[in-house]
Structure 1
Amino acid sequence: MSALSYWQTVQATSTAIADTQSEVIRQAAQAIAGSIERGGVLHVFGSGHSHMIAEDVFYRAGGLACVDAMLEFPLMELNVGRSTEMERLHGYAEVLVSGYRLEAGEVAVVVSNSGINAVPIEVAQACKRKGLTVVAIVSKRHSESVSSRHRDGLKLADVADLVIDNCGVPGDAALATAGASPVRFGPTSTLTGILIMQMIVAEVVSLLDSLGAKPPMFQSANGPGAEGNADLMRAYQSRVRYFPKA
């Protein structure tokens, strides 16, 4: 049964992440927690389907209020076809980051399954020039199996301070049909990218709590405690794009 096979594959990949990436996830969380304790925010960027990893930790119940999701319509799959071309465009990242307030000492997580296209690489470079710590989430196996599209031959893993492997297979599709001409299916990078980001957030919350700092967490708008969300939005609205006026 393909549905069960996919579940088993995702489970095995998630276990591999826990077994092999926990230390670097902890290191990323330590940098983020330190930044938040000093008043900083966490920036998260991804293009194509990777934008969903940024969106998942942005403005949600049980999530940090100090997340700046760097969501750009031309790079989302809402812009079908052109988004693939846009993420390969050299120079676009400089325009993109100019719309965000990036402060030295903060952390930017850049997500790219392949880690070979110009925009995520140059977003990482721009963040490093501004003094941010850059954490990359990539598929190491995929990235190592393909050539860079960056004009200097760089890959995202070459630029980042910390690299977290989503443990995915080259091409992302983890399953294949039987027969002489198999069709590959079952991508895992979105699920594992979201898992990694939520593992990071969980560790950040635990670290802040251990330091005696109250983590700035949103509560569900449909449950008790939601009245505090407006205060958090006011506290971060000068730093986080797309927040409505509170």
Structure 2
Amino acid sequence: MLAVDYLNVVREVLDRIQQTQLEGIDEAAALIAASAVDGGAWHLHDTGHMVSQELIHRAGGLLLITPLTYSFGVNNPVRASEKRQAKETVRSDRIVGVGQRIIESSNMAPGDVLMIGSVSGRNASSIDLALAAREAGIKVVAVTSLAYSSSVASTHPSGLRLFEAADVALDNCGVPGDAALGVAGLDTPFGPTSGIGAACVCWCVCAQVVQRLLAMGHKPHVFKSANLDGGPEFNRAAEEAFRKSGL
């Protein structure tokens, strides 16, 4: 069964994460825990592979993770019908120079930690954001595919890939192109693993943050499922406590 082949590939990815990424995961957690205790925030920006949805406001997840999103749009409807086909869609992930503007427009501050997820790690805006954040005194943790990123050229003028622009680079242990299965009858590989790999890496970081904060004498607040009896009340109390403690 192709489904079994995919499950075997996923197991290999998770094994590689355990074998190769635990040191980096704990290093990232150390940055986040130290920042949180000192009043800093943990920001998460993802380029479209669901890591933000996986971690934020999630039952069993930490309240201290906050999303960082931005958008770029142009509203100019005149002559829209005749020109729509001729114009390319603006890809915000490939715009150079947005990093400093994002930092200036955000609520990020020196001492915070910014986690950036990008599978290929080549797109200009993610690299731009990482460089601008570090220049502003914000630590940057990248979640990327090192094999993929090492096989492609950066689209940023610096020539850096995301893993080269971050303080800590975590590998989702995927392959170049993300799709991991060669399938007879298909002309391109099938079955991406980046979502599962990145989610695993990020939850491992969360686990180490919890461990480190508890060891430092601080109790981090965790969401309870809102679908359990008493869940909404628990979460309201946790959110109130989080506003006071930042943890």
Shift of 1:96: 3.0
- Within-5 A mapping of 1:144-223: 144-178=150-184, 182-223=187-228
1:88 to 70, 91, 94: 94
**Paired residue type of 1:70:** L
- Return the TM-score normalized by structure 2: 0.85
Deviation digits for residues 51-80 of structure 1, max 9, x if unmatched?
Answer: x112211112111111111133559xxxxx
User: Aligned partners of 1:10 and 1:151: how far apart in 2?
Assistant: 35
Secondary structure of the corresponding residue to residue 87 of structure 1: helix
Structure with greater Cα Rg: 2
**Paired residue type of 2:17:** I
The structure-2 alpha-carbon separation of the partners of 1:48 and 1:230, relative to structure 1 and needing over 3 Å to count, comes to same
Gaps of 5+ in 1: 76-80, 241-246
**Aligned: 1:111 with 2:109:** no
Q: Corresponding residue for 1:58?
A: 56
Q: Corresponding residue for 2:106?
A: 100
**Paired residue type of 2:181:** L
Q: Corresponding residue for 1:23?
A: 23
Gaps of 5+ in 2: 74-87
**Aligned residue-pair number:** 230
Shift of 1:27: 0.7
The structure-2 alpha-carbon separation of the partners of 1:74 and 1:8, relative to structure 1 and needing over 3 Å to count, comes to farther
**Paired residue type of 2:54:** D
User: Aligned partners of 2:191 and 2:104: how far apart in 1?
Assistant: 36
Shift of 1:234: 4.3
For the aligned residue pairs, the C-alpha RMSD in angstroms reads 2.2
User: Aligned partners of 2:26 and 2:67: how far apart in 1?
Assistant: 21
Deviation digits for residues 170-189 of structure 1, max 9, x if unmatched?
Answer: 0000001125x633110011
The structure-2 alpha-carbon separation of the partners of 1:19 and 1:30, relative to structure 1 and needing over 3 Å to count, comes to same
User: Aligned partners of 2:42 and 2:62: how far apart in 1?
Assistant: 9
User: Aligned partners of 2:156 and 2:22: how far apart in 1?
Assistant: 29
**Paired residue type of 1:63:** G
- Return the TM-score normalized by structure 1: 0.86
Secondary structure of the corresponding residue to residue 218 of structure 1: coil
